Chains A and B, each alone.
Chain A
Amino acid sequence: MKTTISNNLGIPEVSFQYYADEKLAVIAGKFQVDPNSAEWQAIDRIELEFDSLDLNKSCLSQVYMKNEDPGEQHIETNRGTVLRSWIKGNKLIIEKISHFDAHGPLTFYVCSAYTAGNQKGQLVKSGYVTTGITNQPSQCVLDKKCLVVEDGYVFGLYSFKGFYGVDGGLQQEFDIIGMPTDVDVYIPVIYADTRIDKKGAAMAEGHIQNGHFSCTNPNSVTFYSNNGTFFMFFAVRTPQNNNE
């Protein structure tokens, strides 16, 4: 775990699951921000400072942001976007976008890998394990899937042709084949959302624990839970997460 020693958001310290070697750092965790706070209004980017990070500087990575108040949007749903993020010095830096401020609080999902730049060796395709989903609702249909399992971290990518929940309802859950049981991570689920008059993407919070995925789909399931829903994440493997 890595815990922040300061931040420019005016929020309490945040603890993240953390894995690092000389080429890569994986950071996973979430935190919430009140967009009405004076601190949020004053900053032009988010800075979370740690006592030390293994990489002094990283390439570009991504962090997801979701608003928590669906407000009076056409179809009640939480929306958000993806933000640039990188490491510099002992700080995790995240781009700030204010578009979703009116529907705060804002939740930030860090389930990201940060790589050292200027690597000159050859990419190696390693760590792949057979994956898929099981015990899913009948109208939940997996499309593409990929799972990389390394000693300290995992990478997962799952996309769906249909994402309807149990009995066509909002609750969605299934088991992920090959997912180590020591992964416990909150991730954003992103919906295709074919309505083009809305800014941002419809999003929900997913949770993977003990190889089991769960989330609650947005209210307007007929619009959002169709072809094209996906989630993609890096997560840290930590022995204390092992629930076996």
Chain B
Amino acid sequence: MIALPSIAFSDFSGTAGDVTAKKTKSGTVLTARPFPSKVATPAQKVSRNSLSHISRKWRELSDDQMRAWNELATHLKGISTFGLAAEMTGHNAFVKLNSNRKMVGKPLLSDAPEYIYNIPQVEYEDFWVSPTMIVFTGIERPQESYRLVMKMSGSQSNGISNGWSKAVIVAPGVEEDWGEANITRLYTSTIGYTPQVGEKVFIDIWWMDENTGFVGETLPLMAIVKEYSQVEGEIYVPRNQVTQNNLTSIKDNPTINRYNIEQSDGIPVMTADVEIHISGYVSGIEGNMQDLPPTYVGGRCYFPARGKGRCEYGISLMENYTYWRNSYGTFRVASRFGKYDPDFELFGTSCMVNY
């Protein structure tokens, strides 16, 4: 974007060819006309369709709602690439905040939210960027409604000093888990390949308030891909935790909405937070497990499960059986006692049994 100082060009606007002229408080500004790149990734297509859908919804707002968004926009200023404050209209604010909310699956806000100006920068203790894991630790989430948004580049040559422009959103609203954000799978599914040792990855990370769509200040980071952590140079120690990412070859096609079963340190205690829908005639699910740490201990544990379907609020006692040895494992979650509902939530803290 170029601000023209000449008075001769201070009073025109419009688009000619690839150039758009626009009148602003500080003069006429020429910008390159934005065209979508000719080759759009599927994610870009979805994003562009989404922006266009949100933009169209602006016209359905009442006059009062538009006025409120215009008022909100006076607090918000976009930053141009030259560091100049750019104008923001109510329409811009509506699209910007709602597209942020849409990233985390929230519905469209018709009423302008109250202005929030103090969303802090993300703070962390350490992070790992290696070919097998991308993990941040020691993250303190300032508020329950804040989600992490992370842009990352594919791994770049070590000689590149500024590759943030190549970063794309890989984590569109992650909830940290006990201070950790493991985005390994999100990264590889978005970028398409794993980072290579010795190369550089450029990262932008910020908080987004999922209730309002407001975002905090971006924290730019650069990492050289290596097995050790970026700050302390330590090896990552994983938790003995089975999540949906560890389950494979699951029989009978259940719908698993949540799966997190975790082991404690030095005692036989385990915790669970699982939600499953089984559509067949079986009273549980089973399959294989992968990518667990060698310290994972297999065994049998029982948790209460609460019905969500035909026996709503009914309680059954479900057995979680796991076997894990030499990188191979199997698991089973099955109703054993009480009142079984194939649509259930299993949660709580229990002990591994001795049989």
A150 and B239 alpha carbons, distance in the complex (Å): 24
The A185-222 residues at the B interface (CB cut-off 8 A) are 190-194, 196, 198-201
Contact residues on A (Cβ < 8 Å of other chain), bracket: 35 or more
Residues from chain B with Cβ under 8 Å of A24 in the complex = 264, 267, 269
A5 and B347 alpha carbons, distance in the complex (Å): 28
A201 and B317 alpha carbons, distance in the complex (Å): 12
B313 touches A97 (CB 8 A): yes
Contact with B along A119-145 (1 / 0, CB 8 A): 111111111100000000000000110
Q: A118-B179, A146-B353, A199-B312 are in contact. Are A123 and B240 (CB under 8 A)?
A: yes
Q: A115-B264, A119-B265, A121-B265 are in contact. Are A60 and B349 (CB under 8 A)?
A: yes
Which 7 pairs from chain A and chain B are nearest by CB?
A: A121-B265, A62-B348, A118-B178, A81-B313, A119-B265, A201-B315, A117-B178
The B232-249 residues at the A interface (CB cut-off 8 A) are 237-240
**Across the two chains, which residue of chain A brings its CB closest to B345?**
A84
Stretch at the interface among B28-36, B40-48, B93-101, B303-311: B303-311
The B297-327 residues at the A interface (CB cut-off 8 A) are 297, 299, 302, 304, 306, 310-315, 317
**How far does the Cβ of A91 sit from chain B's closest Cβ, in whole Å?**
14
**Across the two chains, which residue of chain B brings its CB closest to A83?**
B306
B349 touches A112 (CB 8 A): yes
B265 touches A123 (CB 8 A): yes
A159 touches B337 (CB 8 A): yes
6 sample A-B contacts, Cβ–Cβ < 8 Å, listed by A number? A59-B262, A60-B272, A60-B347, A115-B349, A121-B295, A128-B354
**How far does the Cβ of B182 sit from chain A's closest Cβ, in whole Å?**
12
Stretch at the interface among A34-42, A44-52, A168-176, A224-232: A224-232
Having A60-B273, A125-B354, A126-B268, one finds 10 other A-B pairs with CB under 8 Å, namely A82-B315, A119-B263, A120-B238, A120-B239, A121-B265, A123-B270, A123-B352, A200-B313, A201-B339, A234-B349
**Across the two chains, which residue of chain A brings its CB closest to B266?**
A124
Partner of B339, one of A84, A118, A194: A194
Q: Is B117 an interface residue (CB 8 A)?
A: no
**How far does the Cβ of A141 sit from chain B's closest Cβ, in whole Å?**
13
**How far does the Cβ of A143 sit from chain B's closest Cβ, in whole Å?**
8
Chain A positions near chain B (C-beta within 8 angstroms): 23-24, 59-62, 64, 80-82, 84, 97, 99-100, 112-115, 117-128, 143-144, 146, 148, 150, 155, 157, 159, 190-194, 196, 198-201, 228-230, 232, 234
Partner of A122, one of B262, B269, B297, B353: B297
**How far does the Cβ of A129 sit from chain B's closest Cβ, in whole Å?**
9
Partner of B349, one of A114, A122, A143: A114
B336 touches A159 (CB 8 A): yes
A125 touches B269 (CB 8 A): no
Residues from chain A with Cβ under 8 Å of B351 in the complex = 146, 148, 155, 157
A146 touches B354 (CB 8 A): yes
**How far does the Cβ of B112 sit from chain A's closest Cβ, in whole Å?**
26
A122 touches B265 (CB 8 A): yes
- In this complex, which of B240, B313, B315, B348 has the most chain A Cβ atoms within 10 angstroms of its Cβ? B315
Partner of B311, one of A113, A115, A196: A196
B302 touches A232 (CB 8 A): yes
B271 touches A82 (CB 8 A): no
Partner of B337, one of A121, A124, A230: A230
A99 and B312 alpha carbons, distance in the complex (Å): 10
Partner of A127, one of B268, B273, B295: B268
B310 touches A196 (CB 8 A): yes
B268 touches A230 (CB 8 A): no
- In this complex, which of B179, B295, B314 has the most chain A Cβ atoms within 10 angstroms of its Cβ? B314
